[in-house]
Amino acid sequence: MPRTMHAAVVTAFKQPLVLREWEVPRPGPGQILVKTEACGVCHTDLHAANGDWPLKPDPPFIPGHEAIGIVVALGAGVTVVKEGDRVGVPWLYSACGHCEYCLSAWETVCDHAEFGGYTRNGGFAEYVLADPNYVAHIPEGLGPQEAAPLICAGITTYKGIKETDARPGEWIAISGCGGLGHLAIQYAKAMGLMVCGVDIDDGKLAHATSLGADLVINASTHDPAEVLGQETGGGAHGVLITAPSLPAFKQGVAMTRKRGTCVLVGLPPGSFPLEIFNLVAGCITVRGSFVGTRKDMAECLDFAARGKVRADIELQPLSAINTIFERLETGDVPSRVVLDFAGPVPESITSRANANADSGLGADADSATKPAAVLA
């Protein structure tokens, strides 16, 4: 095992990530070490690096929660995975397993959950620690690069669609057809739904059509609620808002049919107004949804393993991370960028004799538990 690895590090909010060497963490009891093969770049990583949300990560930290890799070392007592297994290290890095939420298969909202690439160092690095009880098990036949987007964008949209309660033959509107949205369209079609894709970019909408969307609406030139209302006779039974943009939230609720459910998964900072009369008189449900459980993970990966869903990926080296972030910010990523760790070592990595001495986040600190509650 090498002593150091290459990593992309958030050293301060709203600043470019720093490519540098970082000590390879050692797995403590109950932990595993994963050698990263690929890691998707989610818009959440951008929110994390910008410190967008009330619950903030603590720089310096390594983002990335779509890491896929091979288990290369086991800490004491680990029995549920073995060396050589291909696993994913997801956003839901771990949970307590004992609270009312964990006991009812809602581990996603556990008060003691840890988040990959946020409260724990993530996959923008050649090695990443993981909790073997919460890793994704990547099915045979699914390559690491194509699997990467599924463990966040895939699970979040698959779960979010289920949370709309829309049934086969009914309409679902997917607002935002980017990293999350392009997978949402495919899951929704595979689940027998009629799909309307909504975005502000004609390229994304053309892609949505090619993925099977039955209707597409450009929200920057048309009122999506009006068009959808006319086309479907009253709006979508389910709406899934993935767009990281506040106007999309008001529009999403307006697109919801009477008795329908609007599920929010996009996470722009801020709030949006709800029209009380329309919600009450239309018996409309507005519901948040946060990634998915381990059961959802297995199901969403199974769709891909059976060829029903396929992530559209663009491979880039770790050294391109700041350009990728700029492109995500401006809507210039067609679907999902995946960092490919099989490529050459990035030249711009700054070599430092004692990489972690000034960070306070070396191998030992990394394995310490940092409760989410103290981060606010």
- Pick left, alpha or beta for residue 119 (phi over 0 → left; psi -120 to 50 → alpha; otherwise beta): alpha
CB of 102 to Zn ion, least distance (A): 3
CB of 328 to Zn ion, least distance (A): 11
Number of H helices, E strands in the chain: 12, 17
CB 9 within 8 A of CB 60: yes
Smaller CB separation from ligand NAD, 43 or 237: 43
24 lines the binding site for ligand NAD (CB under 6 A): no
CB of 297 to Zn ion, least distance (A): 13
- The item of Zn ion, ligand NAD, none sharing an interface with residue 186, based on CB under 5 to 8 Å by kind, is none
How many CB atoms are located within 10 Å of the residue 221 CB? 8
Cis peptide before 60 (omega within 30 of 0): yes
Rounded to 5 degrees, φ, ψ at 165 are: 65, 15
- Enumerate residues 320-359 that contact ligand NAD by CB under 6 A: 328, 331, 333
- The item of ligand NAD, Zn ion, none sharing an interface with residue 291, based on CB under 5 to 8 Å by kind, is ligand NAD
Q: Which of 45, 111, 110, 116 is nearest to 87 (CA)?
A: 116
- The item of ligand NAD, Zn ion, none sharing an interface with residue 30, based on CB under 5 to 8 Å by kind, is none
How far is Cα 27 from Cα 120, in angstroms, rounded to an integer? 13
164 lines the binding site for ligand NAD (CB under 6 A): no
**What crossing angle do the helices spanning 179-190 and 294-305 adopt, rounded to 10°?**
80
Strand ranges inside the chain, DSSP E: 4-9, 18-23, 32-41, 67-74, 86-89, 92-94, 114-115, 127-130, 136-137, 171-175, 194-199, 215-218, 236-241, 256-264, 285-288, 313-316, 336-340
Smaller CB separation from Zn ion, 26 or 112: 112
Smaller CB separation from Zn ion, 227 or 337: 337
43 lines the binding site for ligand NAD (CB under 6 A): yes
Question: What is the residue type of 363?
Answer: A
178 lines the binding site for ligand NAD (CB under 6 A): yes
177 lines the binding site for ligand NAD (CB under 6 A): yes
Smaller CB separation from ligand NAD, 74 or 219: 219
Q: Which of 131, 138, 152 is nearest to 40 (CA)?
A: 152
247 lines the binding site for ligand NAD (CB under 6 A): yes
| Total residues at interface with ligand NAD (CB under 6 A) | 36
How far is Cα 279 from Cα 276, in angstroms, rounded to an integer? 5
CB of 111 to Zn ion, least distance (A): 6
CB 366 within 8 A of CB 129: yes
291 lines the binding site for ligand NAD (CB under 6 A): yes
CB of 204 to ligand NAD, least distance (A): 4
CB of 198 to ligand NAD, least distance (A): 5
- Enumerate residues 97-126 that contact ligand NAD by CB under 6 A: none
180 lines the binding site for ligand NAD (CB under 6 A): yes
CB 341 within 8 A of CB 37: yes
- The item of ligand NAD, Zn ion, none sharing an interface with residue 99, based on CB under 5 to 8 Å by kind, is Zn ion
201 lines the binding site for ligand NAD (CB under 6 A): yes
176 lines the binding site for ligand NAD (CB under 6 A): yes
Binding site for ligand NAD (CB under 6 A): 42-44, 47, 152-153, 156, 175-181, 198-201, 204, 219, 242-245, 247-248, 265-268, 289-291, 328, 331, 333
